[in-house]
Each structure stands twice: as C-alpha cells, then as structure tokens.
Chain A
Amino acid sequence: EAQVTQNPRYLITVTGKKLTVTCSQNMNHEYMSWYRQDPGLGLRQIYYSMNVEVTDKGDVPEGYKVSRKEKRNFPLILESPSPNQTSLYFCASSPGLGSKGYEQYFGPGTRLTVT
C-alpha cells in the first residue's frame, strides 16, 4: 500500500529534551515536506526537501532540523524543544515531477506536547 508513515503518533516530552520524529514514504517520491498545524494558523511549512541531500527552509524553520540521507526518509529533529513547539505535525510527499508532481500525500500526523 502506498503510504507515508510517521512515528511516533503521540509524544509528550519536556523542555530541552532532544527528539526525532521519523517520516518514511514508499512511493519513490522526490519531494518531502514537514508541516505544523495549529488552531487558527492552518498548515505551515517547516522544511522541505527536493531530493536526497537537498533541503531548504519553509515558513517556520526556527527550532527544527531535518536531514534527507535516503530518498524514502525525512526525519524532523527538535534539538531543544520548547512549549511553543507543541503542535500537530504532518509529513507529506509528492512525486515532484510529471503532471501529478505537486499532489502531496500526507502522513497520519504526530501530536507533540512539550511541557
């Protein structure tokens, strides 16, 4: 089954404790992206990647890191989480090329709470 997976789905952590949220897709997509979704603010892009070893900042990159060492994986790293990073996080991927290149498919989401 074609899908984007994220782990963990739920996470409660404390301020300053480094964490990683994993994202993996099995569709051989070129493009991957991380979003956060907050009430009243909609979906905001954190980082994106056009291909392996190619990443760039989105709208709200502060406090986050990413890496793309393999095409299928795009982990999101919070090196020192703070309470304002409490949010619902989505990973998404799209082919990046072709007529459907921009059709993004989302993972199930990770609900993060930082206390």
Chain B
Amino acid sequence: QKEVEQNSGPLSVPEGAIASLNCTYSDRGSQSFFWYRQYSGKSPELIMSIYSNGDKEDGRFTAQLNKASQYVSLLIRDSQPSDSATYLCAVRNPTGSARQLTFGSGTQLTVLP
C-alpha cells in the first residue's frame, strides 16, 4: 500500500465550479499535511498546510483534514483556468523520521473555460 495516495486524474471541472481533490495516507502517526500546486515543467509551490482536524480556508482554497479516516482534501472554489495544474498532497512523516515529507503522485486538474 502506498503511503500517500491520490487519484491521478485527470480531473476536469468547468470554470466557476468547485474542484475537489482527495488524498489518503497510511500512517496514523502523521502530523502535518500539505498541498502543493505544480504547473507543467515548473517546481511545486506550497499553497496550503493543515495540522489539525477540520477545515482551513485561505482565499478560494479550503483544506479539510480527518485524521480518524486518514483523509485530507483540497477544495478550490470558483475554479479558474489558471488553476489547471497538478496538485500534490504531502504528509509529514511521524516524529523521529528525518525524511520529513512523503508526496503523493499528484492529481492533474483541468479547469475548462
């Protein structure tokens, strides 16, 4: 079982819709969770971090964390064509591991004008 799993997509949504990206992780001891956006040929860019159960909102982005279900999601409201990118979920490894983050393989999002 992969440590961090994401649907690879592609996920297509119309402009103005809500895009929902999901991520599950295997280690119950994981503490911190991150969403990165990566445009084709570019480097990953940190867009959200979440550390406790519940929702965290930042502009059009909302991260949701449910540690009991080992599930983290990213919602993008009012999706724009400029949101078209691959979204990477990253999970902090449990305390004591210096490797820091494990990344999922990413979900490719396309927002259709």
Contacts and interface: CB of A to CB of B under 8 A. Distances in A.
Do the two shown chains form a genuine complex with each other?
Answer: yes
A90 B99 contact: no
Nearest to A44: B103
Contacts, number: 47
A102 B106 contact: no
B46 A104 contact: yes
Contact of B32 (A50, A58, A90, A102): A102
Nearest to B45: A106
Interface stretch (A11-19, A35-43, A65-73, A74-82): A35-43
Interface string A83-115: 000000010001000011011111111000000
A48 B92 CA distance: 14
Interface of A: 31, 33, 40-43, 45, 48, 50, 56, 58, 90, 94, 99-100, 102-109
Interface string B83-113: 0000010101000001111011110000000
A31 B43 CA distance: 18
Contact of B98 (A40, A56, A106): A56
- Majority SS at the chain B contact face: loop
A102 B105 contact: no
B49 to A, nearest CB: 6
A16 B106 CA distance: 33
Contacts of B49: 100, 103
Nearest to A45: B99
Closest 3 CB pairs of A and B: A42-B105, A106-B43, A43-B103
B60 interface: no
A42 B49 CA distance: 20
B25 interface: no
Contacts of B88: 42-43
A90 B44 contact: yes
B99 A48 contact: yes
Of A56, A94, A102, A109, most buried by chain B (CB within 10 Å of CB) is A102
Contacts of A100: 49
Contacts of A56: 98
